[in-house]
Amino acid sequence: MSEDEWEVPTSITVYPRFIKGHRSLNGDYYLPSLVGRIYKEVLLAFQEDALILAGLGLRGTVEAVCNDLNISGRNLEARISKLATAGYISRKDAERLHGIRFMGNDAAHEIKKPKSAQLSVALRIVEHLLSSVYILEKEVQGNIETLITEFSGFVDLIKEKVKHLSSGDELPIIGLLGRDIRRVKESLPNLEPELISKIDGGEISFLTKGKVDKYENSRHDLQHYVVV
């Protein structure tokens, strides 16, 4: 190269920047709008090395999940504990989420910059929360038979079974559900009284109360229901 020539220095910057060692959360389209938006902004903060903002955002994501699930409480500490008692997460998961709370508080009140390693673990904890509460819940529907503990799911199951019966058929819950009785067996003492109450109140129109009698080889008399 002559003295009249020069080499233009080059550099390459890739946008958007990637998070080292991070794998995208499959099924993030199942997330509620606000929860998903905050989560994506957390990822952007990670990509731009804005670690204080990332720490605040992770805490905010947990807050958004609590809001979406209508988990109330005087502070985030109480709300995380209620996530566990309500059955959305395990006790161990709650312990980990309290770690997110501590980190977010430090970032907010002490302007303390978290370490990259801390944030990487914290991101995995929050993504586990999002996956278990929203994504897996959607993906198992229609693919895996799970236990039913909520009344709305109980009614939906009965509705599906009634479609294959004839008007006037009279059966107890075990007869209506067949092998799917195993999905509600533990919760039936709470679910059936509510079903009866809804029928009596006219809120359920596809069944009426029938006789109270034994069914097949049952030892006790069972409430029967008539398909309308």
For residue range 167-224, what is the model confidence (pLDDT) as tens digits? Answer: 999 999 999 999 999 999 999 999 999 999 999 999 999 999 999 999 998 999 999 9
For residue range 143-171, what is the model confidence (pLDDT) as tens digits? Answer: 888 899 999 999 999 999 999 999 999 99
CATH class for the domain made up of 28-140:
mainly alpha
pTM recorded for the entire structure = 0.68
Confidence grade of residue 105 (pLDDT, cut at 50, 70, 90)? confident
Q: How far apart are CA 152 and CA 206, in angstroms?
A: 15
Confidence grade of residue 10 (pLDDT, cut at 50, 70, 90)? confident
Q: Residue ranges per domain, the chain? A: 28-140, 151-227
> CB neighbours of 176 closer than 8 A, spacing ≥ 6?
158, 161, 162, 165, 225
**What pLDDT is attached to residue 110?**
79
